[in-house]
């Protein structure tokens, strides 16, 4: 149901949206049963002249069943949800597929620095392309990111990717994503980082292979002066 509100752009957007739907169906079922029971009882047992309430204290077996059966059903539902959630989490956060490319993300108050590998395809070499508030990637490729922060906590969030990862000063956090559609989407900071938190946005450009090569060609080479 999330996809009705915001497009899916990454290979795992669909998994998150599926998990959302799964929870909605299971939890929604219990929610409707509980609300239904409340309103039915309120109507059925409203005060009527001459009708006294029953003396039931919920200690005999027949009555206890009304609590114990839902109890076991909820445990069963919980197990389904735990497994569903663990699978999605494992795919997004835990199993990092082999990278086609690695980018560096440096967050600071209140801007993003994106370090793209240059033509050699390697990060931290002389031909790296550094850009502020602009990230360029190629569609269909596995990207790893190395997320760091210069000052406070920040959070690298790409809603269309269903991806979010806090940046913590003093740590380098690795993660991955793969875009499966070309376009231009938002990057937002999702962790309170001071008065400029509300303007700490960036744009993510997802290119096709050719476009990406074009873009790469157009970048100035800072390192050309060095031997």
- Least Å from the CB of residue 226 to another protein: 30
- Least Å from the CB of residue 213 to another protein: 26
| Binds another protein (CB under 8 A): choice among 8, 11, 15, 113 | 15
Structure tokens that stand for 5 in this block = 């509100």
- Least Å from the CB of residue 205 to another protein: 13
Contact, 99 vs 177, CB < 8 A? no
The continuous run of DSSP H or E covering 81 comes out as helix 61-89
Subset of residues 84 to 113 that bind another protein, contact rule: CB under 8 A: 84-89, 92-94, 109
CA distances (Å), origin 105, targets 9, 129, 154, 177, 227: 20, 12, 11, 13, 27
Q: How many residues bind another protein (CB under 8 A)?
A: 88
Give the C-alpha separation, 141 to 209, whole Å: 10
Binding segment for another protein among 48-56, 99-107, 117-125, 214-222 (CB under 8 A)?
48-56
- Least Å from the CB of residue 115 to another protein: 20
Pick the closer one to another protein by CB: 67 or 224.
67
Burial profile 193-207: b = 16 or more Cβ within 10 angstroms, e = fewer: beeebeebebebbbb
- Least Å from the CB of residue 133 to another protein: 11
Does 34 bind another protein (CB under 8 A)? Our answer is: yes
Does 217 bind another protein (CB under 8 A)? Our answer is: no
Pick the closer one to another protein by CB: 59 or 217.
59
Distance of CA 102 to the CA centre of its chain: 20
Give the C-alpha separation, 67 to 54, whole Å: 18
Task: Please state the φ and ψ torsions of residue 53, each to the nearest 5 degrees.
Answer: -75, 160
Give the C-alpha separation, 93 to 162, whole Å: 12
Does 142 bind another protein (CB under 8 A)? Our answer is: no
Does 55 bind another protein (CB under 8 A)? Our answer is: yes
Subset of residues 148 to 207 that bind another protein, contact rule: CB under 8 A: 151-153, 155, 157, 159-160, 162-171, 173, 185-186, 188-199, 201, 203
């Amino acid at each position: 149901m999330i996809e009705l509100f915001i497009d899916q752009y990454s290979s795992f957007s669909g998994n998150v949206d599926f998990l959302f739907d799964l929870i909605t169906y299971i939890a929604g079922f219990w929610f409707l049963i509980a609300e239904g029971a409340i309103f039915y009882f309120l109507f059925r047992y409203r005060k009527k002249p001459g009708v006294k309430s029953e003396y039931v204290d919920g200690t005999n077996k027949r009555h206890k069943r009304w609590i114990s059966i839902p109890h076991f059903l909820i445990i069963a539902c919980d197990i389904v949800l735990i497994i569903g959630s663990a699978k999605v989490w494992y795919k997004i956060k835990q199993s990092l597929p082999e990278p086609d490319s690695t980018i560096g993300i440096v967050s600071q108050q209140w801007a993003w620095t994106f370090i793209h590998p240059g033509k050699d395809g390697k990060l931290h070499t002389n031909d790296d392309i550094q850009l502020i508030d602009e990230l360029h990637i190629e569609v269909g490729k596995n990207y790893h990111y190395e997320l760091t922060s210069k000052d406070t906590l920040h959070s690298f969030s790409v809603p269309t990717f269903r991806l979010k990862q806090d940046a913590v000063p003093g740590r380098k956090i690795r993660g991955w994503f793969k875009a499966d559609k070309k376009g231009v989407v938002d990057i937002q900071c999702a962790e309170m980082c001071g008065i400029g938190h509300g303007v700490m946005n960036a744009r993510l450009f997802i290119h096709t292979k050719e476009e990406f090569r074009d873009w790469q060609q157009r970048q100035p080479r800072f390192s050309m002066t060095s031997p």
